[in-house]
């Protein structure tokens, strides 16, 4: 084993973190509501990933590996928190923001994405949800940039058609109830 190999791995990991930190933090923010918890989640995932960095043979898959670590870590935290919660006879006097519309929009988005083929869904999620560039998306999925563009184009057309069809169904159902 080369004596400089551990140093090179550290530098490689540091370079990766500098380049991907913003995108990884966005992913963490989608997993937990609190911005400080998202930073903690990302840092925990980075520490866990660093321990296995040399085991990731294809570094182009590092984002996917890190996101999986974040999801697993968030699940661990959720389970640990659930165990610490205790029932009480008195509810706290706290107002709660109504995010019903936001949840409905998210549920609609998740449902509409199901109409796409798996490859199309992956391209849409990586490109628009994870805000990866065309090149990053292509590298993550092992396809050419041109294939990403054409797949994304067809997927967005399909999503628009599906949303329009659902809207028309909703309008027709609403008119039927009023008539």
- Delineate the domains of the chain, giving CATH numbers in brackets: 1-85 (1.10.1740), 100-179 (1.10.10.10)
d(CA 155, CA 161) in angstroms, rounded, equals: 10
The pLDDT value recorded for residue 5 is: 59
Q: Positive or negative, the Cα torsion across 112, 115, 118, 121? A: negative
In tens, the pLDDT along 141-168 reads: 889 999 999 999 999 999 899 888 888 8
Better-predicted residue by pLDDT, 113 or 106: 113
> Torsion-angle region of residue 119: left (phi > 0), alpha (psi -120 to 50) or beta?
alpha
> Torsion-angle region of residue 153: left (phi > 0), alpha (psi -120 to 50) or beta?
alpha
The pLDDT value recorded for residue 48 is: 93
């Amino acid at each position: 084993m080369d004596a400089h190999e551990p140093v090179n791995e550290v530098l490689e990991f540091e370079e990766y973190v500098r380049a991907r930190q913003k995108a990884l933090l966005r992913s963490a923010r989608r997993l937990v509501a609190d911005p400080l918890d998202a930073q903690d989640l990302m840092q925990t995932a980075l520490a866990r990933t660093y321990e296995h960095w040399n085991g990731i043979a294809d570094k182009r898959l590092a984002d996917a590996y890190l996101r999986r670590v974040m999801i697993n870590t968030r699940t661990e935290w959720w389970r640990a928190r659930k165990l610490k919660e205790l029932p009480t006879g008195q509810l706290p006097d706290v107002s709660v923001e109504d995010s019903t519309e936001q949840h409905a929009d998210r549920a609609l988005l998740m449902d509409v994405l199901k109409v796409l083929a798996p490859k199309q869904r992956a391209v849409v999620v990586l490109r628009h949800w994870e805000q990866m560039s065309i090149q990053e998306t292509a590298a993550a999925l092992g396809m050419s940039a041109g294939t990403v563009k054409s797949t994304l184009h067809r997927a967005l057309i399909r999503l628009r058609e599906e949303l329009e069809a659902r809207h028309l169904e909703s309008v027709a159902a609403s008119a039927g109830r009023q008539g």
